[in-house]
Chains A and B, each alone.
Chain A
Amino acid sequence: GESVGLHLPTLSVQEGDNSIINCAYSNSASDYFIWYKQESGKGPQFIIDIRSNMDKRQGQRVTVLLNKTVKHLSLQIAATQPGDSAVYFCAETYPPYGQNFVFGPGTRLSVLP
């Protein structure tokens, strides 16, 4: 039967506005974090990552912020576009990296025209 999973929270933003997607992580030992974007019917796509020795990292239109004190991660998308509509997952990991991935429940971003 269907597994008991988490229903995705949804964030709706107007096209052109900035989006902020939040993620709380659980393991104090986690020191590497990744954001993935998953469009409907496709696999997750790597967006940006950050290591715990940083508190901010910028990419193209995206910024990831890390607050280790409160174990919080956020993804900021500037000038949100319709193509940004997707589900966004954060992932935390700790050594051995790539092995111990823990994914957040995901947030669905809907961009309104």
Chain B
Amino acid sequence: GAVVSQHPSRVICKSGTSVKIECRSLDFQATTMFWYRQFPKKSLMLMATSNEGSKATYEQGVEKDKFLINHASLTLSTLTVTSAHPEDSSFYICSARERGPSTDTQYFGPGTRLTVL
């Protein structure tokens, strides 16, 4: 299957700082990537849809100025958590849409564990 990577896998930062998380599709081009947040023992919560070359589409309740998304190329989307606070601590997961002659599905990255002190 398609491979999606995330970097970093784990990050600890101080309150008030900004953290950037990268999501890369390694063996396919993804015009669309997705960012999810997951709390312990909970399901995935879609935060935003990242479209290459255009603005991201945010889900209701997700602050676009706090969670900045950039999809500058067909293989890279970044999520920047600005002025992070302890309540932003979570597991952030990206996925990338792979479209082909016989497929159209999402493949997920390994996730990034963010801890804000």
Q: Please indicate whether A and B come from the same complex rather than being unrelated chains.
A: yes
Chain B CB within 10 Å — which of A2, A6, A108 has the most?
A2
Number of A-B contacts (CB under 8 A): 73
Other-chain residue from A7, A44, A96, A108 in contact with B108 (beta carbon distance below 8 A): A44
B22 within 8 A of A: no
Given A5-B39, A103-B43, do A98 and B104 touch, yes or no (CB 8 Å)?
yes
Cβ A7 vs Cβ B110 within 8 A: no
Interface residue total, chain A, C-beta cutoff 8 A: 30
B65 within 8 A of A: no
Cβ A104 vs Cβ B110 within 8 A: no
Q: What residues of B have a CB within 8 angstroms of the CB of A45 in the complex?
A: 108
Contact with B along A79-113 (1 / 0, CB 8 A): 00000000001010100111101011110100000
B44 within 8 A of A: yes
A11 within 8 A of B: no
Cβ A43 vs Cβ B106 within 8 A: no
Given A34-B105, A43-B108, A44-B108, do A7 and B98 touch, yes or no (CB 8 Å)?
no
Other-chain residue from B1, B37, B41, B111 in contact with A46 (beta carbon distance below 8 A): B1
Q: What residues of A have a CB within 8 angstroms of the CB of B106 in the complex?
A: 34, 91, 98, 101
B84 within 8 A of A: no
5 A/B residue pairs, CB under 8 Å, sorted by A: A3-B39, A5-B45, A45-B108, A98-B97, A99-B49
